[in-house]
Structures are given as C-alpha cells and as structure tokens.
A and B are shown apart, each in its own frame.
Chain A
C-alpha cells in the first residue's frame, strides 16, 4: 500500500537524521541534543528517547481514532490482543505473530517479520542498529495503551533480524 510506504520512508529518514551528528552547530542553530560534542552513549540515549517520545504522541493520537467499539474492553488481555491483531494490521498490514503473558502484567509480543526491520539485512548483520528502528514503535505501543487507559513500559529486543519482540509491562498506579 502506497500510504504505508510513505510512513516507512519517513521513519527510515527520521532514524537516519536524528542520529546524524551536527559537525559544527552553525550560528543559526540552537544547541540541540544532537550536537557533535554529545556523540556516543549520551547522544544515542537522547535520540532513542526522542524517537520514543514521538512514537508515544502518535500512538496516543491513533488511539483516539480507533473505532468506538474497540474502546469498551473488558480485560487487559483483550486490549493486548487488540494491539496484536487490529492495531498491528492497521499500522503494519500484518498481525503480530505471537503473544505470550505471565498473567501478571507482563506481555511479550513477537513479530517474526517486522516491516520496519525487513528492509535491513536479515540475520545478525546490523543487530546494533536495530534498536533505533524499534524506538518509535515502542513509543507508539505505549501511547496507544495510554489512550486505552493503561500505563505501561515498552521495550524491544532483537535476536535476529527481521524478527523482534516487544515487551509490555503494565504499570499499576
């Protein structure tokens, strides 16, 4: 779908640009969080949180646009199933491949062929780069859950591209 392609291109460009270090901040540019001096770990962490923050805002907004009937869930598990099926299909044109839970507030969502990773080489190459491509989506999940009334922490891990796992830990108030 062409619309999906546009989002993918934008996402890839965002990951690439938000990581680029400014060689020398020009006079017109205010010292952003990605200045050259701040490269390395600190810069990376900032960029990851910027991407997560953006994903969160988008997830919140998407959550508000969901069809009404989906908002009247009975159980937490229903909501997670909704994320795995309906939301994932709406956003990535496929369902999540598996959902596991310990029934104590932790859920692991597995996507064996995550579209935002598929363009990268498969296997173990670029494993280091993978987190950058997952940050936005982690934020997206957290943001949608937030609109559905659930506070959570979402992290992602990759064992071998393009498969990845999203871990959702529900935060009790």
Chain B
C-alpha cells in the first residue's frame, strides 16, 4: 500500500459517522419498541445518564480541566471543551437568570441529527437527541453536581435553533472555595 490506511481523511469521517449512524439506529429501534414519545425520550435520557457517569472519567483524563468556581465556568467547559472534544462543535452559552444557575447551550449544528431531515411521522414530541441531556446530567452527578438538563428548543421540531437547558440544582459550597484563597 502506498499510504498507511490510518492517514486517509475519509476514515476520520467514517469513524464520526459510525457514532451518529449507530445512534440513529438506536432511536429507530426504540421507536419500534415504544409507542409513546415520552417513553422513548425517557429511555434515551436514561441511557445517556449511564454513558455520562462513565464518560466523565474519560473526559477528565483527556482534558485536565481545573476545578471550577462557578456554574458559569462549568457551563463554559461543557460547551467549549467537552462538546468540542466529543462532537467537534462548540455551542454558545447563555445565562438565563440572575441567580446564575440556569444556562442554555445553543447548538447551531447538531451532529447527532446530521442525517435526519425531519422527525418520523407521528413522532412530533420525540426529543431525538435526548441522549445528550442524560450524558450531561450523569457526568455532572459524578462530580457532585445535581442538574436538570432538557431540550428547550429543537431544530427538528421546527424551532430556529437547538437549545439545551441546564439548571444547576444545588449551590456549590461557596465557603469551601473562599477558604482556599
């Protein structure tokens, strides 16, 4: 062979496609098994949670992020480091409330839905990419942060953007961090 196989750029795309296609097959299978959209959504979230609890270790090993001192820092890391690392995109982050515990990740492009043009017929409430919410929730829980993570907007449902909402539920112990200074 004139060139080593692993240097071909097409193979990088195939590898990326592998995850997206497998995910699509999974959603299709779940739609066969469950009549109600809510059940599929819940199942995807549960599976995502399971993945998130294990992915966090992989993430921390690869990224060497420092300890965070605010929810805002965490939201930034999720968007700019984690999403970039695993999905190759960087959602923008907005803070939605004054107490600074509600954030939105706005995805211009959703890699999971790359090959999906529209939701299947009769599946208008399906949160196609709900796995992501579970992953974020599971990963955060492993670092002792409880959060609600849901899709606020979804391009597949006709919205203009895809938006994931993260609401941190417990306050970080502020005193603990001040002492370290």
Contact = CB atoms under 8 A, between A and B. Distances in A.
Chain A complexes with chain B: yes
Contact of B19 (A3, A30, A32, A54): A3
Contact of A58 (B15, B18, B38): B18
Interface residues of A, number: 39
Given A17-B47, A29-B39, A32-B33, A10 B14 contact: no
Contacts of B39: 28-29
Nearest to B85: A2
The winner among B5, B34, B58, B115 for most chain A CB atoms within 10 A is: B5
Contacts of B15: 1, 3-4, 7, 90-91, 93
Contacts of A11: 22
24 contacts: A1-B15, A2-B62, A3-B12, A3-B15, A3-B19, A7-B19, A10-B22, A10-B23, A10-B26, A10-B51, A13-B51, A14-B22, A28-B38, A30-B33, A54-B25, A54-B29, A57-B25, A58-B21, A61-B115, A62-B18, A62-B21, A67-B10, A86-B8, A89-B6
Nearest to B9: A67
B148 interface: no
A33 B25 contact: no
A6 B59 CA distance: 11
Interface of B: 1, 5-6, 8, 10-19, 21-23, 25-26, 28-29, 33-36, 38-39, 43, 46-47, 50-51, 54-55, 58, 62, 85-88, 115, 131
Given A14-B26, A95-B5, A61 B34 contact: no
The winner among A10, A17, A33 for most chain B CB atoms within 10 A is: A10
A3 B8 contact: no
Interface string A129-146: 000000010000000000
A17 B58 CA distance: 21
Interface in A22-74: 28-30, 32-34, 50, 53-54, 57-58, 61-62, 65-67
B36 A13 contact: no
Contacts of A5: 55, 58, 86
Contacts of B47: 13-14, 17
A50 B30 CA distance: 11
A54 B86 contact: no
Given A13-B51, A17-B47, A32-B34, A7 B22 contact: yes
A85 interface: yes
A67 B8 contact: yes
The winner among B23, B29, B62 for most chain A CB atoms within 10 A is: B29
A66 B28 CA distance: 23
Nearest to A139: B25
A54 B17 contact: no
A9 B55 contact: yes
Given A13-B51, A28-B39, A91 B22 contact: no
A85 B25 CA distance: 25
A77 interface: no
A16 B33 contact: no
Contacts of A6: 19, 55, 86-87
